[in-house]
Amino acid sequence: MNQNDIAWVMAFLCESCFSFMWLLVTNVTWSPAEHKPYPDRLDERVHDLPSLDMFVSTADPVREPPIIVVNTVLSLLAVNYPPNKLACYVSDDGCSPLTYFSLKEAFKFAKIWVPFCKKYNVGVRAPFKYFLSPVVSSEDSEFSNDWNMMKREYENLSQKVEDATGDSHWFDADDDFEAFSNTKPTDHSTIVKVIWENKGGVGNEQEVPPFVYISREKQPSYVHHYKAGAMNFLVRVSGLMTNAPYMLDVDCDMYATDADAVRKAMCIFLEESMNPNHCAFVQYVCDSKAEGFNLLQSFLERGVAGIQGSVYTGSGCFHTRRVMYGLYPDDVEDNGSLSSVATRKLSAEKTLAEMFGISKELVKSAARALQRKANPQNNFTNSIEAATEVGNIHYEYQTSWGKTIGWLYDSILEDVNTCIAIHSRGWTSSLISSDPPSFKGCMPPIGPEAMLQKQRFSTGALEIFFNKQSPLIGMFQQKIRLRQWLVYLSITMSSLGSLPMLFYCLLPAYCLLHDSTLFPKGLWLGINLTFVGMHCIYTLWKFMRPGLSVDFWYPSFCGSLFSIFDITLKLLGISKTVFVVTKKTVPATKLGSKDGPPQRGDDSQVDDTLYLLPATFILLVNVAALADYLVGQQLWSHSDQRGGSGLAEASGCTFVAMLFLPVLKGRVLAAPKARDRRFKPLSLSLSLSLSLLHSMAPSAQSPLLTSEGDEKYANVKWEELGFALTPTDYMYVAKCKQGESFSQGKVVPLW
Residue 437 preceded by cis peptide, ω within 30: no
* Cα 488 from Cα 423, distance rounded (Å): 10
Helix (H, G, I), strand (E, B) or coil at 644: coil
- 135 CB-contact burial (10 Å; exposed 0-12 / middle 13-18 / buried 19+): middle
Reported as type and span, the H/E element at residue 431 is: strand 428-432
Query: CA torsion 735→738→744→749, rounded to 10°?
Result: -20
* Cα 438 from Cα 732, distance rounded (Å): 72
* Cα 244 from Cα 269, distance rounded (Å): 14
Q: Indicate the pairing of strand 86-92 with strand 279-284.
A: unpaired
Cα 513 → chain centroid = 37
Q: Which amino acid is at 225?
A: H
User: Any known ligand binding at 175?
Assistant: no
Short-list 107, 215, 123, CA closest to 161 = 107
Q: Do residues 507 and 648 lie in contact, with contact meaning Cβ atoms separated by under 8 Å?
A: no
Q: Which amino acid is at 648?
A: A
* Cα 593 from Cα 202, distance rounded (Å): 38
Q: Do residues 597 and 547 lie in contact, with contact meaning Cβ atoms separated by under 8 Å?
A: yes
* Cα 373 from Cα 702, distance rounded (Å): 82
Task: Report the largest interatomic distance among the alpha carbons of the chain, rounded to a whole angstrom.
Answer: 108
Short-list 555, 560, 441, CA closest to 500 = 560
Q: Which amino acid is at 3?
A: Q
* Cα 48 from Cα 112, distance rounded (Å): 27
Short-list 655, 670, 455, 660, CA closest to 558 = 455
User: Any known ligand binding at 603?
Assistant: no
* Cα 691 from Cα 150, distance rounded (Å): 58
User: Any known ligand binding at 699?
Assistant: no
**Residue 704 CB: number of other CB atoms within 10 A?**
15
b/e per residue 538-550 (b: at least 16 CB within 10 A) = eeeeebeeeebbe
> Within 131-289, where are the H helices?
141-166, 226-241, 261-269
Q: Indicate the pairing of strand 86-92 with strand 211-215.
A: parallel
93 is catalytic: yes
48 is catalytic: no
Helix (H, G, I), strand (E, B) or coil at 175: helix
Catalytic residue among 93, 249, 603, 628: 93
**Residue 162 CB: number of other CB atoms within 10 A?**
12
User: Any known ligand binding at 227?
Assistant: yes
Q: Per-residue DSSP letters for 574-635?
A: S------PPPP----PPTT----SPP-GGGGS--S-GGGHHHHHHHHHHHHHHHHHHTTTTH
Catalytic residue among 92, 331, 410, 415: 415
Residues 6+ apart with CB under 8 A from 350: none
Short-list 551, 580, 321, CA closest to 452 = 580
User: Any known ligand binding at 64?
Assistant: yes
Short-list 658, 647, 564, CA closest to 618 = 658
Annotated binding site: 57, 64, 93, 227, 251
Annotated binding site for Mn(2+): 227, 251
Catalytic residues, by residue number, are 93, 415
Annotated binding site for UDP-alpha-D-glucose: 57, 64, 93
